[in-house]
Every structure is written in C-alpha cells, then in structure tokens.
Amino acid sequence: MYAIAEVYEADARRVKEGQQAEITSVAFPGKLLGKVERTGAMIFRNTIESIDPSAATHSRVVEVWIRLEKNDYAKNLVYLQVEFTIHTGENEG
C-alpha cells in the first residue's frame, strides 16, 4: 500500500528514495511507517483542500510515493488526508 505525499517544490530536492517516513492522522491512532519509493518528475498545484484561510492553497508540489510497511489496519484506509514526516537526516539528532 502507498501513501502519496505532496511535497512543496522547494523541499522536494531534499527527498530521496529510501528515506524513512511517518504518517499520522486524526482518523487513526499512532503512526504508520514507510519508505520513500519514488518522487514524481512533474510539478503540480496541490490538491489539498482546507477551510483554514491561512493554508498554503495552490502551492506548487511534487508527488512522493511512500510505500507503507505491512499493517492490517492500513489496508482499510483509502483517500484519507494525513500528515507526514520524511526523515532527511538534515538537522536531526
């Protein structure tokens, strides 16, 4: 199973295949783990909708495919908006 993350264009250069990722959401407890499998080659406008007037809507993003570790709970999650962290190794202790 994959999670497709929208990474800001300016941050996309720091994302590499094999990096660890954590996915969280208010819709499920804890976090899902995975690895970056590939990054898109095209730049899009983001598709995330938000009611927050200060949210970065219509930002330029690159799609990043994160392959999730096996998880019986995750197989029931489809089209869910989540938060993600990709561990780049920069500024990490």
- DSSP E strand boundaries for 12-69: 20-25, 28-45, 60-68
Torsion angle, alpha carbons of 11, 17, 18, 22, to 10: 40
Query: β-strands 60-68, 28-45: how paired?
Result: antiparallel
pLDDT digits (tens, 9 = 90+) for 73-91: 777 777 788 888 998 776 5
pLDDT digits (tens, 9 = 90+) for 47-61: 555 555 555 555 788
Q: Which domains are delineated in the chain?
A: 2-49+56-86 (2.40.30.170)
Query: What pTM value is reported for the model?
Result: 0.75
